[in-house]
Structure 1
């Protein structure tokens, strides 16, 4: 899934990688959601995405369970790609490099979220409208 042909992370790189996401990638995210959450929480660079990460995983879960379907595949793929990128320790800048290891993860997540911001808001509105307020983790 990860193409290392590029030396930089930009909007085009993220869009191209999102286009390659398959349904099985969503399963990998769901199977590793605790590890992804731990990585986000333990990284100073990614910590600001802790609550958003929970919302994105919740959205994937509701989508996968057929509870929430009012979302384009691109949004599901963007969430899966962003979270899988965080999970992968050997991405463009390996996570174990002190000080800069999570900079690329931050960039990928930022670009991914920029593409899907409206859909995240729609999902949160839906959760509140459906009386699922207690399930929204924000």
Structure 2
């Protein structure tokens, strides 16, 4: 695993990259189009499910939370997500899907380092919104008897 300073350097490169800026520019269009967003989520699920091994457990878990949030948003079940948070999530997932980015995904071992750094950054940036979604999700999944 890269050191904290290496991860910070990678993150700065990612956030300033043409790849992430392009993804950010597209995010609003996806957010406004349920069909496009659902198609994006399908591709994200395919890539996430293809990540094998315990090394990627944390990344898979984080990405799956983002997918669940966006699915609930698209279905109209969960609307308490700020626009900025919504577009940040979509931009990160668009970047995650791209095989050509700051560190190309085809490179063994290091190929997903930039994607991981970006997902960790996102979770830090929108942590309160993710906590609110988790709380909503847990209440929704709780069965009340009596």
TM category (shorter chain) comes to 0.7 to 0.9
TM-score normalised by structure 2 residue count: 0.70
Change (3 A) 1:27 1:116: same
Shift of 1:67: 0.8
Structure with more helix by fraction:
2
Supply the RMSD in Å over aligned alpha carbons: 2.8
Runs of 4+ with deviation above 3 angstroms: 11-19, 25-28, 43-46
TM-score normalised by structure 1 residue count: 0.74
Q: Distance in 1 between matches of 2:116 and 2:109?
A: 13
Q: Which residue pairs with 1:4 in the alignment?
A: none
Change (3 A) 1:89 1:12: closer
- Which of 13, 16, 20 is equivalent to 2:16? 13
Q: Distance in 2 between matches of 1:52 and 1:99?
A: 19
Shift of 1:35: 1.6
- Which of 13, 22, 34 is equivalent to 2:28? 22
Q: Is contact 2:38-2:71 (8 Å) kept?
A: no
Shift of 1:27: 4.2
Change (3 A) 1:85 1:117: same
Change (3 A) 1:16 1:87: closer
Deviations along 1:28-79, one digit per CA (max 9) or x if unpaired, are 422313223224x327654312222211101000111111001101111122
Higher radius of gyration, 1 or 2: 2
The unaligned stretches of length 5 or more in structure 2 are: 1-8, 31-35
1:108 and 2:107 matched: no
Number of positions where the alignment pairs a residue of Structure 1 with one of Structure 2: 126
Shift of 1:94: 0.5
